[in-house]
A and B are shown apart, each in its own frame.
Chain A
Amino acid sequence: MSILWRVLTRHRRAVILAAVLLAAFLLMTVQVRHDRAVVSFVRQAVLFTVSPFIKLTAVTVGGVNHVWQNYVDLRGLRQENLRLQREAVLLQRRIDQLEEQVLETQRLQGLLAMREAWRAEFVAARVVGKDATNWFKTILIDRGSRAGMRRNLPVVGPDGLVGRIVEVTPSTSKVQLITDPLSAAGVLMQRTRVTGIVIGNLDAGLRVRYLPLLADVVVGDQVVTSGMGGVFPKGIPVGRVTAVERKSGALFQEAVLQPKVDLSRLEEVVILMNWERREGFETGSRRQP
């Protein structure tokens, strides 16, 4: 025992490094084996601790941006003419507010139209943060378990599918975007009803895999969720085919998609609640928003 202790003490540096590397390796291994309890606990603990600071930062940045746009940018005008500057500040502020209101109204009208079309309960949320790496595509929204959020709820924008909730804290949730390299969803071609699986990519693109080699898929085809897998309702627009790839010797063909939603500029999203108890997601019967 004492010999072991002496060896450990002498090689303390190497032992600590090996132990911590092993811990990190085991964490990843645990996830591969789908034992999510420990991982989920750690994620939620960190997210719970950090998310108030992220929200605070987002609010502060918004405030500073507001002040910058409404005051600092207009400071030069004061040097030319004080009276005109005051008027300009007031008018500019009104214009900014009105423009912002118009844009917000348009976005909310889109969301309301979507709600009408799909007849689902929904909760609107604001995007307060983005993924901490460039590799994965997730966003942080300002609704958590207190607002009824839970894992795997589908998240959509005015134009189509955004992703699904993967982590929930009381006040925030993390949404995995469909462009995330670890994301996958069942889809079908709206025109021919051919099914496939849409996956994300490291370059933030979308690809539909496992399309039968002889299936009729052409550029311009609209792609919607198939409803298979039970996470996403059937008929949510996903994207438009921009290229079809048929490699010689391959069993399947692939399609490259342009996402319906501009995921880099998301400000508000909608979380579909209790959709499984409702009907109306089928594209054939769905009114267009």
Chain B
Amino acid sequence: MRLFVVCLLACASAQAALLGAISVGGVRPDLFVLLVFFLSPRVSPEVATLQGFVIGLCQDALSGGPLGLRAFTYTFLGFVTAWLSHDLYTEKPLAQFWLLLAGAAGASLLAFSLLAFFVGLLPLVPALGLIAPEAVYTAVVGFLLLRLPQVRAAFVRAI
């Protein structure tokens, strides 16, 4: 519980105040979705469901979107990630990257569908132009975070 709160606060602070410096073309990685990915496999699907809801609610409160949009998305994502974590667990780098990419893109598409349902039909092409780079960037950052021990070891060896 304490780890969850600390991670959530760190994630919220970094997303709002830090990531502007590493944005590419105005697109930043989504740390909240990575938080769902990284925390959910460690707990039961029931707990992951609630964690996803709280993470999404926090992101909704810090964004201009409707409250509940990301909460709904991450509830679902947290449940699915926890439920399938044993089946999808892999150490293969490429597979990890594709799973992160699929998860990030899937979460964004689900959120976009909900937004279209509640706010009205939004233009799809600009949305895809945002969803795709955001998902790729998020997957790259997530992959690097997963590989942090190896990256660190390689760096130490190099110096």
* Residues from chain B with Cβ under 8 Å of A285 in the complex: none
**Residue from the list B16, B18, B72 in contact with A21, Cβ < 8 A:** B72
**Residue from the list A28, A129, A181 in contact with B16, Cβ < 8 A:** A129
**Interface hits, A8-63 → B, CB 8 Å:** 12-13, 16-17, 20-21, 23-29, 31-32, 39, 42-43, 45-47, 50, 53-58, 61
Q: Are A46 and B79 in contact (CB under 8 A)?
A: no
**Residue from the list B15, B17, B63, B114 in contact with A28, Cβ < 8 A:** B114
**Interface hits, B1-51 → A, CB 8 Å:** 9-10, 12-21, 26-28, 30, 32, 45-46, 49-50
Give the distance to chain A from B24, nearest Cβ to Cβ, in Å: 11
Q: Counting chain B CB atoms within 10 Å of each CB, which of A20, A46, A137, A181 scores highest? A: A20
Judge if B119 is at the interface, Cβ distance under 8 Å. yes
Q: Are B126 and A57 in contact (CB under 8 A)?
A: no
Q: Are B56 and A135 in contact (CB under 8 A)?
A: no
Assess A50 versus B62: contact at CB under 8 Å? Given A28-B68, A134-B26, A181-B122: yes
Judge if B143 is at the interface, Cβ distance under 8 Å. no
* Residues from chain B with Cβ under 8 Å of A138 in the complex: 63-64
* Residues from chain A with Cβ under 8 Å of B63 in the complex: 131-133, 135-136, 138
Chain A: interface residue count, which band?
35 or more
Q: Are B15 and A24 in contact (CB under 8 A)?
A: no
Q: Are B72 and A24 in contact (CB under 8 A)?
A: yes
Q: Are A21 and B62 in contact (CB under 8 A)?
A: no
- List 5 A-B pairs, Cβ < 8 Å: A20-B52, A21-B72, A46-B57, A135-B115, A202-B127
B residues sitting closer than 8 Å to A (CB atoms) are 9-10, 12-21, 26-28, 30, 32, 45-46, 49-50, 52-53, 56-72, 75-76, 79, 111, 114-115, 118-119, 122-123, 126-127, 129-130, 134
